[in-house]
Structure 1
Amino acid sequence: MLHSIQEWTIQHAEQTEDVHWFMDLPELMAFISIVILRGVTRIPSLRDCWSANLGNPQIIGTMPRNRFQDIMQHLRFDDRSTRSDRAKTDKFAAISSVWGSFVTNCITCYNPGLHITVDEQLFPSKTRCCFLQYIASKPDKFGIKFWVACDLKSKYICNVLPYLGKDPNRPSGERLSENVVMRLMEPFLDKGRNVTTDNFFTSLSLAQKLLRRKTTILGTVNKIRREIPQSARYKDRNEFTTQVFSTSAATLTAYAAKRKKTVYILSSMHSVVQTDNTTKRKPNTVTLYNTTKCGVDVMDQMVREYMVRRGTRRWPVAVFYNMIDMAALNAHVLYQACTGTQERLPGGACKRVG
């Protein structure tokens, strides 16, 4: 992966600046280390990173500022001469090769636990690209959206896909949500794992597909889904009451967290739904969902703590920043797994249902 970045960066520099321009692999690694250090030190201005008063001695001693800017100017992730042809079928062509290597490494380097969480991540960016997203509910409204599968316990990023808009390769009639979950979970199916999703992804047809691959699902269901029986749709329920509906593939729990607020949980791992002895009488499906749903949200909080993102006009560089953030978190998880140390990175809790 680094060799590819080195090759295409040198190619771009030779074509646009100097035929004798060169960057060896250690220098590229030094460049990436400065990118990471800038995220850790949180010095907003590039100039200040090398200043006598505010500068970081490690950054100053690693590389001159002008050389860092020179590499950043020429940083490329693909063969520019063939990009236009590849872009006809691949909107991610400018970085897809490097991105694919990164994702392959994520999949092969770690064996996740029994619970995997699938959710979306919006990486903040306002660069011009055809798949930039606007999501009003996010803290940063604009960005590049990624679908992420994350190990619940360690928050290791197991698999990740960029959202590039309409996919011509998606089978006709298949929901986007089902396609995303099946693609993210493909390397981890047939192992008896469970995947936790929110109401965008969860459906009975997805539960059936996963069960055929020895994988269960636990997730909230949107009340407008066809899976919700008509008898479960009425709003005025008594507070803390539970209604259960079952099929051969899954169990649907309708729990009234408030008088006019009903939470629907679909589970293919629970054949029996039980309520606890507390005042709220929560079903075990709701309790387990609250425990297992936070993988991606907490992961996103952790990578934002030391985010390396800086202003850029090139969307491949924005994706590269997100890749470094994810790689740093995964490296931390692997370091802990290999050494047995327990060092917690910052990361908060997420909102519970019910």
Structure 2
Amino acid sequence: MPHYRSLRPSKILEVLQNLPDDQSDCEPTEEERHILHLDSESEESDYNITQNSDSSRDDDHTHRDSDDSVPLSTLRSANLRRGRGRGRGRGRGHRGRGSRVQTEIIHHNTIVEVSSSGVSWTPGNLSVLNQPGRRPRQNILTEEAGPTAFAKRCYKGSILSAWKLIIDDSMLRHIQKCTETEARRQLEDNTWTLPLNELDTFIAIIYARGACEAKNIAVNDLWDKNWGIQFCSQNMARNRFKEIMRFLRFDVRTERAERLQTDKFAMISEVWNKFIHNSISCYKPGENLSADEQLFSTKVRCRFLQFMGKKPDKFGIKFWLCVDVDSKYLCNGFPYLGRDESRPQNQSLGEHVVLRLMDPYLNTGRNITTNNFFTSVSLAKKLIEKLTSIVGTVNKTRRDIPATIKNASLSLYETHIYNSETCTLTVYQGKPSKLVMILSSLHSNVFVDPEEAKKKPNTVKFYNATKFGVDVIDQMAKKYSVKAPSRRWPVQVFYNILDLAAINSWILYKKLSEKKISRKKFILDLARELVGQDTSSLMTPSSSQPDNSIAPEPEGERSGKRKRCYVQKCRNKTNKSCISCKKPLCGSCNVNKELKCQKCA
């Protein structure tokens, strides 16, 4: 039998690397039997690497170190170091013949970090190239994005028909019924009525006010002959508008007390639920969705009014929204009403919100992007079971993150990867004092571009590209918002419904008609179709009639490059010139209605 006393560690590593991956539990060859001793008592079938001090002598001189046993797949990437008499157990401190070869795991990938919640994290490898492979089942979209068949059937080719897909006649009839009931109760007049066409005109004036960005103008000023919007006075009397606004209701007062016992949002919940139902049934979103909160600014007296110090408006009613990242279409949403009795005790608020928002789109292969308020490993596991993936930032205070990862010290633009059973955790040092953690069940391979300056991993880039859906739709709603001062919170919620409905109907109209139209023009045309007038009437008198008191600008020859005026002691620059001498002349030095200098005049 040959002697292996002078066998080097590189030879041992070469033998181990030549083994196939699926042969970790197979019997060793004759050559490997002198290097590896199979530990039959180990439950993980690991190999113990030892070296005989003298293979021709008695086997009692062979030292077996059971504490140094590691999996074979781990030894293939481990570094080997030669030592003398450093073994544990029987071999501790033994000065035998020759030297022993001992395995020491110094690669960081072999360390397993366990968090306080019991999640195990194993360091992974960061590649520099995108390795193509088969996509997991939860990442395969099984639906086509765009308007549904129901929306295509009901669309009649006009802007009003696209808006009616979101705000249908049943919602308008419900508002009509509740408003008439309240007016008859207060006025004690059963003849008071609100026709549907008059309700459409009322909503058209509200939309026109928002499109003209006149939400902060008082109602009386909107009907002013000099400064008001001519569209308002042409279609409805001011007192009639104020009367409808006074009695505008979204529920029946006699049934309110009973419904408020089970629904805090009962004063407008029927209108809101119908709006969300129509939005879901008319459009199929793409593969990427975004979930976040919207704070609709108001200071009305309300049981669920929220204060958020980091928001610009501070006070308001909070809504949880789910938005399609590609089209910015509102897919789902509901208000935050405080403590929810239907939420399980072992489920956090963030998990409950995401699961409720994604309920219509589960088992379809979509991805949801969230912030650190929602993201957790338990939520990722629940979504994977329903064929849905998640990408989001993770708060350091989460129990899912081990303390060693929280306190990791990384250099600038350095990235560490950790893998769990279902997720991948990316730790990226984006700024000297900012450590970013991205949890993803979508990405199985994390890579960076070595030529990029900041070396951002693909998970960070994906999060940056899909995180802003709710923020964008909130900015769009505020741009042409119909919101106006009101002390009744149901009216404020109705304003928010009209803003979001205008955005959804605008997206549906563009998809169904395949036309490009600005959102402002869409709102103005919608107001026109609601009352049947031309859009040009939406212009204010001051903008439609020129002011003759302003003298017309003198005419003269223009040049592309601005030059200094030739008049002495004048330092102005101009692109005009005298019509006679052709010298540069500014407007201040002009002495005639025509552009002439003093000499030529």
TM-score (norm 1): 0.96
Structure 1 residue identity aligned to 2:300: T
Instruction: Give SS of 1:71's match.
Output: helix
For residue 399 of structure 2, what is the aligned residue in structure 1? 226
The DSSP-based 3-state class of the residue aligned with 1:329 is: helix
User: Which residue in 2 is equivalent to 1:283?
Assistant: 457
For the pair 1:50 / 2:220, whether they are aligned, the reply is: no
Distance in 1 (alpha carbons) for counterparts of 2:296 and 2:212: 20
2:178 aligns with 8
Of residues 286, 293, 301, the one that matches 1:128 is: 301
Partner in structure 2 of residue 25 of structure 1: 196
Take 2:453 and 2:415, find their aligned partners in 1: how far apart are those partners? 13
Task: Choose the corresponding residue for 2:482, options 296, 308, 319.
Answer: 308
Partner of 2:552: none
- What's the secondary structure of 1:281's corresponding residue? coil
Residue identity opposite 1:242 in structure 2: T
Decide whether the 8 Å contact of 1:118 with 1:296 is kept in 2.
Answer: yes
Q: Distance in 2 between matches of 1:190 and 1:344?
A: 35
C-alpha distance in 1 between matches for 2:488 and 2:225: 30
1:37 pairs with one of 190, 199, 208: 208
1:236 is displaced (CA, Å) by: 3.4
Aligned residue for 1:334? 508
Deviation at 1:274, TM superposition (A): 0.6
- 2:540 aligns with none
Q: Tell me how many residue pairs correspond in the alignment.
A: 346
Deviation, 1:229, is 2.3
Deviates more, 1:18-27 or 1:290-299: 18-27
- The one-letter amino acid of 1:259's match is P
Other structure's SS at 1:77 match: coil
The corresponding residue for 2:243 is 70
Q: Distance in 1 between matches of 2:439 and 2:399?
A: 13
1:153 is matched with 326
Q: Write the mapping of 1:1-354 to structure 2, written as runs, cut at 5 A.
A: 1-17=171-187, 18-43=189-214, 44-234=217-407, 236-277=409-450, 278-343=452-517, 345=519
Q: Which amino acid aligns with 1:6?
A: Q
Q: Give the aligned CA root-mean-square deviation in angstroms.
A: 1.1
Deviations 1:112-160 (A, max 9, x none): 0010100000000101110000000111010000000000011110001
Gaps of 5+ in 1: 347-354
How far the C-alpha of 1:235 sits from its partner, in A, is 5.2
| 2:567 paired residue number | none
How many Å apart are 1:280 and its aligned residue? 0.6
State the shift of 1:230 in Å: 2.2
Large movers: runs of 4+ above 6 Å: none
Going by fraction, where is helix more abundant, 1 or 2?
A: 1
Q: What is the distance in 2 between the residues matched to 1:276 and 1:119?
A: 30
Structure 2 unaligned segments of length 5 or more: list them: 1-170, 521-601
Distance 1:331 1:249 in 2: 38
The alignment-based identity, stated in percent, is 49
| Separation in 2, partners of 1:85, 1:136 | 35
SS in 2 for 1:289: helix
Deviation per CA, 1:301-327, whole angstroms, max 9, x where unpaired? 111100111111100001000000000
1:130 maps to a residue whose letter is R
Q: Report if the CA contact (8 A) 1:131-1:144 is conserved.
A: yes
CA distance in 1, matches of 2:405, 2:516: 45
Partner of 1:61, secondary structure, is helix
The code of the aligned residue for 1:4 comes to H
Quickly say closer, same or farther: Cα 1:136–1:71, change in 2 above 3 A: same
**In 2: Cα distance, 1:335 partner to 1:183 partner:** 28
Q: Secondary structure at the match of 1:22?
A: coil
| CA shift digits 1:275-311 (9 cap, x unpaired) | 1230111010000000000110011011110011111
**Conserved? CA contact 1:235–1:261, under 8 Å:** no
Decide which structure has the larger Cα Rg and report it.
Answer: 2
Residue 317 of structure 1 aligns to a residue in which SS? helix
TM-score calculated relative to the size of structure 2: 0.57
Number of the residue aligned with 1:349: none
**Contact map agreement 1:120 1:147 (CA 8 A) in 2:** yes
CA distance in 1, matches of 2:515, 2:414: 44
Partner amino acid for 1:204?
V
Shift of 1:85: 0.9
